[in-house]
Amino acid sequence: MSGKQYLKNQLSVILINLLGMLALALFLIANGNHIQIVLFILAVWLIVLVSCLLFFYFTRKKYLNKLLIMAEQLEERYLLPEIMQVPEKADEQVFYQILKMAEKSMLERIGEVQRERKEYKEYIEQWIHEVKTPITAMKLICENNRSPFTRELMAELENINRFTEQALYYARSEHTEKDYSVREISLSGVVHSAIADNKYLLRQSNVMITVDEMEHKVYTDDKWVRFILDQIISNAVKYCTDQPTLHFFAVKKNDKIVLSIEDNGIGIAQSDLPRIFEKGFTGQNGRTIHSSTGIGLYLCKRLCDKLGIEISACSQGKGTTISLSFHINDFIIGVQG
């Protein structure tokens, strides 16, 4: 609250006091009082008026600043009435009641939205689990009837399964802590599992895979990391060249194990690199490949943040390297030793 605004709000009070001072001065002079006595009385009145205005200004400003600080510290600012003191003035109590009514309405609306989101999430998860049954059945039929046609069909089934998994993980990504289990896993094992999950897609696209020897073990959730690798592999295939290659390797850097997936695809423009993990961002490549949705890498980033994994991308005109950095837990290693 500025002093100028406060004086503007108190203008009516100041005018009434000035009129009162003028009326009193005229009354005293008319009754034969000496001018010095009149001026003394008016000076006292003016000092009392200014003192009162300053006192109420600083008191009010302190109270309002305290409210602003409390509001800034609150994550849910609609709960401000809960930490406010009930005002004493009648007009302020009216505004306080209005805030309480707004808070109640907001809480009711939030509760309704949360119920709707929960029901929708449960429906999506149930639908995905139901649709996985026919997908698995179709895979078994194709496995039992090997032919060029069924191999192509298996590649498309892998795509369908990847999209259903993407929807499932998107629905669960808000509360990953309820669905993951952190334990010691082998990077080599999780990489080979992810490759196996996409074997028909990789075979159909004639992707040459090279996996360096990996002796590293990290603490994370096997299932979620496999999903992240699935998204990276499908992206690499989507933006591949005529002779696509994928290279998996891991190195130890200080207190981290860095798993990298390098491809020789069309690469990512330097201007797009800072934004590739944003939701819905497809960049220049998305304008040429219309199947891009901008969801895959966004989900990877979101899940990595939940799991404490650092994800980064590097591209130098052609080819892209996606790196996953796993922190080494010295405490666990010390206990095991």
Q: What is the pLDDT of residues 62-71, one digit of tens each?
A: 888 887 887 7
129 or 115, which is more confident: 115
String of b and e for 172-193 (b: at least 16 CB within 10 Å)?
A: bbeebeeebeeeebebbebbeb
Place of tokens 């139901």: 130
Q: Tell me the pairing of strands 208-211 and 245-253.
A: parallel
Strand partners, 253: 256
Give the Å distances, CA to CA, from 70 to 3, 62, 65, 86.
Answer: 22, 12, 9, 15
Q: What is the mean pLDDT of residues 35-51?
A: 89
Q: What is the pLDDT of residues 274-306, one digit of tens each?
A: 888 888 887 777 666 656 777 888 888 988 988
- Which helix (H) or strand (E) is 243 found in, with range? none
288 or 167, which is more confident: 167
Q: Domain 182-336: which CATH class?
A: alpha beta
Q: Evaluate if residue 32 carries a pLDDT over 50.
A: yes
Q: What is the pLDDT of residues 307-336, one digit of tens each?
A: 889 999 998 878 899 999 998 864 444 434
pLDDT of residue 332: 43
Q: Evaluate if residue 99 carries a pLDDT over 50.
A: yes
> At 208, is the secondary structure helix, strand, or coil?
strand
- Give me 110's structure tokens: 């939030």
pLDDT of residue 335: 39
pLDDT of residue 91: 75
The C-alpha atoms of residue 277 and residue 323 are separated, in whole angstroms, by 13
pLDDT of residue 258: 92
- Domain residue limits, the chain: 3-104, 182-336
Q: What is the pLDDT of residues 194-230, one digit of tens each?
A: 999 888 888 888 889 999 988 888 888 888 899 899 9
pLDDT of residue 333: 43
pLDDT of residue 135: 85
pLDDT of residue 323: 93
- Give me 312's structure tokens: 């980064």
Q: Residue 74: phi, psi to the nearest 5?
A: -80, 135
pLDDT of residue 267: 85
pTM of the entire structure? Answer: 0.63
Strand partners, 210: 247
Q: What is the mean pLDDT of residues 14-29?
A: 88
Place of tokens 């605004």: 5
Share of the chain above pLDDT 90, in %: 15
The C-alpha atoms of residue 210 and residue 249 are separated, in whole angstroms, by 9
